[in-house]
């Protein structure tokens, strides 16, 4: 799974299957449920930490129809497998504004809906009209933005066995050059402030209310702290990076150490943004 995770760690899954249509996805998940086999939807692997022992189930990737984008007026219908950077560029080319914040986020639209991904003052909830999902019974349902119950790095998808299929977004007309300028500003800011040269899962911890995780970690004296090949980035303490051949165990132990030290020095309980897959 290290080849399918931005942390570049993780042992093998039992199988990796790519589906290209909603029908194929429904048939596959129905079969796996009938055989009592676990499965996970694998987006761009940008928010997961897979165990060194791997995953005792089937990893499902979404291709084909799930990578399509259709635009009509200010409305954008996009599949769950569409990369956010591609989506932002497609909107820019159509002179549509509102999703510039997603440019450079290394995830898919499906993952962004699960986590209500956001950056630079914008979140998916700001532009989402509705989301098509495959529900627990294998039926396709459309959830309104209100039914998605978006919160900070949270949505109803995280709390139910729902699979994001596609989403309808509402953007607004803008100027192509102005939109691109904003996107480039965001990308430049990422490059200057974030350790993009190393494998990571982006921001490792959620932002505690009233605080910044990176500042708390820095104030705890943890800049550059390493366990094995994992390190708290010296460039941005909010990132745990795979600096030099880290294992998932290294990363997990460093995350736990950071949590404990921040709790000891500030009294604040950090909550991981990264989702752990497999046994730790």
The C-alpha atoms of residue 258 and residue 277 are separated, in whole angstroms, by 20
3-state helix, strand, coil in the chain (%, to 5): 30, 30, 40
Which segments of the chain belong to CATH 3.30.43.10? 2-64
Instruction: Please give the C-alpha separations between residue 15 and each of 3, 33, 128, 253, in angstroms, as whole numbers.
Output: 13, 15, 33, 27
| CA-based torsion, 213, 102, 105, 160: positive or negative | positive
CATH ID of 213-277, from 3.40.50.10320, 3.40.50.720, 3.90.78.10, 3.90.340.10: 3.90.78.10
User: Residue 159 contacts by C-beta under 8 Å, 6 or more apart in sequence?
Assistant: none
Which segments of the chain belong to CATH 3.90.78.10? 213-277
The C-alpha atoms of residue 204 and residue 59 are separated, in whole angstroms, by 22
Neighbours of 52 (CB within 10 A): 18
Which segments of the chain belong to CATH 3.30.465.10? 68-191
Query: What pLDDT sits at residue 173?
Result: 97
In the structure encoding, which two tokens stand for residue 184, read together? 């480039």
Fold of 68-191: 3.30.465
Backbone angles phi, psi at 168, to 5 degrees: -100, 125
In the structure encoding, which two tokens stand for residue 259, read together? 């949590």
Tell me the whole-structure pTM to 2 decimals. Answer: 0.91
Query: What pLDDT sits at residue 226?
Result: 98
- Taking only the tens of pLDDT, the chain with its 280 residues reads 999 999 999 999 999 999 999 999 999 999 999 999 999 999 999 999 999 999 999 999 999 999 999 999 999 999 999 999 999 999 999 999 999 999 999 999 999 999 999 999 999 999 999 999 999 999 999 999 999 999 999 999 999 999 999 999 999 999 999 999 999 999 999 999 999 999 999 999 999 999 999 999 999 999 999 999 999 999 999 999 999 999 999 999 999 999 999 999 999 999 999 999 999 9
Q: Residue 111, by phi and psi: left (phi above 0), alpha (psi -120 to 50) or beta?
A: alpha
pLDDT in tens, 130-166: 999 999 999 999 999 999 999 999 999 999 999 999 9
Catalytic residues: 153, 203, 273
pLDDT in tens, 81-114: 999 999 999 999 999 999 999 999 999 999 999 9
CB 137 within 8 A of CB 129: no
* Residue 257 burial by Cβ neighbours in a 10 Å radius (0-12, 13-18, 19+): middle
CATH code of the domain occupying 2-64: 3.30.43.10
Residue percentage of the chain with pLDDT more than 70: 100
């Amino acid at each position: 799974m290290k080849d399918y995770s931005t942390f570049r760690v993780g042992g093998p899954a039992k199988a990796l299957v790519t589906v290209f249509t909603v029908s194929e996805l429904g048939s596959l998940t129905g079969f796996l449920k009938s055989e009592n086999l676990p499965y996970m939807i694998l987006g761009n692997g940008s928010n997961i930490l897979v165990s060194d022992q791997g995953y005792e189930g089937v990893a499902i990737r979404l291709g084909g129809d799930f990578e399509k984008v259709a635009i009509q007026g200010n409305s954008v219908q996009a599949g769950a497998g569409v990369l956010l950077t591609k989506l932002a560029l497609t909107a820019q080319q159509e002179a549509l504004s509102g999703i510039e914040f997603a440019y450079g986020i290394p995830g898919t639209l499906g993952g962004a809906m699960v986590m209500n991904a956001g950056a630079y003052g914008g979140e998916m909830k700001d532009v989402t009209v509705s989301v098509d999902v495959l529900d627990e019974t294998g039926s396709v349902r459309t959830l309104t933005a209100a039914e998605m119950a978006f919160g900070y790095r949270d949505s109803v998808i995280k709390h139910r066995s729902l699979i994001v299929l596609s989403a309808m977004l509402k953007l607004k007309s803008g100027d192509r050059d102005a939109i691109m300028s904003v996107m480039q500003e965001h990308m430049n800011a990422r490059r200057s402030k974030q350790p993009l040269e190393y494998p990571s899962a982006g921001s490792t911890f959620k932002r505690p209310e009233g605080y910044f995780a990176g500042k708390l970690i820095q104030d705890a004296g943890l800049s550059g702290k390493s366990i094995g090949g994992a390190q708290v980035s010296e460039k941005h303490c909010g990132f745990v990076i795979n600096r030099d051949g880290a294992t998932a165990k290294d990363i997990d132990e460093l995350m736990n150490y950071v949590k404990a030290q921040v709790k000891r020095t500030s009294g604040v309980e950090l909550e991981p943004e990264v989702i752990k897959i497999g046994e730790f």
